[in-house]
């Protein structure tokens, strides 16, 4: 874990601290611009699709295209994370934009199923939880590195439980899954923010590496926010029923 309190000995403590904070702030500004842009694109595509009669008919057709789209989305996420050091900045940005737009299909279903009040409350709740955990991840002096392995295993367990419940269709299990999902992605929000801070503190070899790290970081934070939001929508929607 990098000690952020130790300045570069070649610089005065005040100047080193100011330069580090300025560089870090600019880095996270870029990450958040891409993250928020991705979320906005997903929402816009979802809103547009939710008003399309052709799209609604497609949803009721039971097409296997959903499986193909899901596999493609997983492939894009894997490609961005795996090849972030070798892909060109244009390619990785294109993949991120494609992924965000494709998630609009999921958002269209949320808009069609849940009332606007539920969606609004879930968004506000997500923003509050996400903001709090992000601040914790950025400000805490405690290393969250140990969370990584535990959160990965918890995420695998969540996926397995979700697959099982796809067949059992237990309302109680679904409720538990959603609450556990909120806890996992809230923790991932803090973990990913601190991880990005550590990566930035380690420096970059060139501008392309920094640009690709920005996109990969934006994708990770995008996924944290999106999944947190989707689980809260399901909780608030179920409690409304």
Give the separation between CA 40 and CA 45, rounded to whole angstroms. Answer: 9
> What's the mean pLDDT in 62-83?
84
Query: What number is the average pLDDT over the span 103-124?
Result: 94
Read off the tokens for 202.
């380690």
Is 66's pLDDT higher than 80?
A: no
Contacts 24+ apart (CB under 8 A), 203-209: 208/88, 208/89, 209/85
pLDDT at 6 over 60: no
Mean pLDDT score of the chain, rounded to an integer? 88
CA-nearest of 114, 104, 99 to 52 is 104
pTM, whole model, 2 decimals?
A: 0.87
Tens of pLDDT, residue by residue over 34-44, are: 999 999 999 99
Cα 172 versus chain centre, distance: 26
Look at residue 15 in the predicted model and tell me its pLDDT.
52
User: pLDDT tens digit string along 191-222?
Assistant: 999 999 999 999 888 999 999 999 999 999 99
Residue 213, burial from CB neighbour count under 10 angstroms (0-12, 13-18, 19+): buried
Q: Does pLDDT of 141 surpass 50?
A: yes
Determine what percent of the chain is predicted with pLDDT higher than 70: 89
Residue 111 has pLDDT above 70, yes or no: yes
Query: How many Å apart are CA 239 and CA 241, to the nearest integer?
Result: 5
């Amino acid at each position: 874990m990098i000690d952020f309190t130790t300045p570069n000995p070649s610089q005065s403590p005040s100047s080193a601290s100011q330069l580090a904070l300025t560089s870090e702030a600019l880095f996270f500004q870029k990450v958040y611009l891409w993250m928020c842009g991705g979320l906005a694109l997903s929402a816009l595509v979802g809103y547009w699709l939710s008003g399309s009669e052709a799209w609604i008919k497609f949803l009721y057709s039971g097409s296997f295209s959903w499986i193909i789209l899901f596999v493609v989305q997983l492939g894009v996420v894997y490609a961005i994370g795996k090849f972030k050091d070798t892909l060109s900045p244009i390619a990785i940005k294109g993949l991120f934009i494609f992924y965000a737009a494709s998630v609009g299909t999921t958002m269209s279903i949320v808009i069609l199923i849940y009332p606007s009040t539920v969606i609004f409350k879930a968004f506000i709740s997500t923003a509050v939880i996400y903001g709090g955990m992000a601040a914790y991840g950025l400000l805490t002096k405690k290393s969250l590195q140990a969370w990584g392995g535990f959160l990965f295993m918890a995420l695998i367990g969540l996926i397995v439980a979700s697959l099982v419940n796809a067949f059992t269709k237990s309302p109680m299990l679904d409720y538990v899954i959603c609450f556990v999902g909120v806890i996992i992605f809230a923790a991932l929000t803090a973990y990913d923010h601190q991880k990005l801070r550590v990566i930035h503190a380690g420096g970059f070899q060139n501008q392309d590496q920094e640009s690709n790290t920005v996109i990969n970081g934006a994708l990770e934070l995008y996924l944290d926010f999106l999944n947190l939001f989707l689980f809260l929508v399901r909780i608030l929607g179920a409690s409304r029923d």
